[in-house]
Amino acid sequence: MTHSVEFGGENLQLHSWGALYWERESLLLLSDLHLGKITHFRKYGAAVPRRALHRNFQRLDGLCETFKPKRICFLGDLFHSHMNREWALFEQWAGQCPCELELVVGNHDIVSPLRYEAVGVLCSESLTKGPFLLTHHPLEQFEGFNLSGHVHPAVRLKGPGRQQLRLPCFYLNGRQMILPAFGAFTGSHVMEPRPGDRIFALAEDQIIPLQEPAGKMT
- Of 8-12, 119-123, 160-164, the poorest mean pLDDT is in 160-164
pLDDT for residue 188: 85
Of 108, 62, 111, 61, whose CA–CA distance to 88 is shortest? 111
Residue 61 in any domain: the answer is yes
pLDDT for residue 90: 92
CA 16 to centroid of chain Cα atoms? 11
What is the total count of domains within the chain? 1
Domain of 32, in residue numbers: 2-210
Residue 70 in any domain: the answer is yes
pLDDT, average across residues 204-212: 83
pLDDT for residue 54: 83
Give the pTM.
0.89
pLDDT for residue 22: 98
Residue 215 in any domain: the answer is no
Residue 56 in any domain: the answer is yes
Residue 218 in any domain: the answer is no
Q: What are the backbone dihedrals phi and psi of residue 13, each rounded to the nearest 5 degrees, phi first?
A: -105, 120
Residue 140 has pLDDT above 70, yes or no: yes
Residue 168 has pLDDT above 70, yes or no: yes
Which parts of 70-123 fold into alpha helices (H)?
85-96, 113-118
Residue 83 has pLDDT above 80, yes or no: no
Of 42, 39, 2, 41, whose CA–CA distance to 22 is shortest? 2
Taking all residues of the chain, what is their mean pLDDT, rounded to a whole number?
Answer: 88
Of 19, 36, 31, whose CA–CA distance to 111 is shortest? 36
Q: What are the backbone dihedrals phi and psi of residue 131, each rounded to the nearest 5 degrees, phi first?
A: -80, 0
CA angle, residues 201, 123, 54, in degrees to nearest 5:
50
Residue 216 in any domain: the answer is no
Helix, strand, coil percentages, rounded to 5, for the chain? 20, 35, 45
Residue 147 has pLDDT above 80, yes or no: yes
CA 19 to centroid of chain Cα atoms? 6
- Contact by Cβ (8 Å): 123, 105: yes
pLDDT, average across residues 34-49: 60
pLDDT tens per residue, range 62-80: 999 999 999 999 999 998 6
Helix (H) or strand (E) holding 52, with range, is helix 52-67
Amino acid letter, residue 50: R
More confident residue, 86 or 12: 12
- Residue 189's contacts (CB-CB under 8 Å, 6 or more residues apart) are 151, 152, 153, 154
Of 147, 93, 146, 84, whose CA–CA distance to 121 is shortest? 93
Residue 184 has pLDDT above 90, yes or no: no
Which residues on neighbouring strands pair with residue 4, listed in sequence order? 13
Residue 127 in any domain: the answer is yes
CA distance 170 to 55: 20
Q: What are the backbone dihedrals phi and psi of residue 213, each rounded to the nearest 5 degrees, phi first?
A: -65, 140
Q: Percentage of residues in the chain with pLDDT exceeding 70?
A: 84
Residue 30 has pLDDT above 50, yes or no: yes
pLDDT band for 46, please (50, 70, 90 cuts). low
**CATH code, domain carrying 161:** 3.60.21
Distance separating the N- and C-terminal Cα atoms of the chain: 25
Beta strand pairing status for 176-178 and 164-173?
Answer: antiparallel
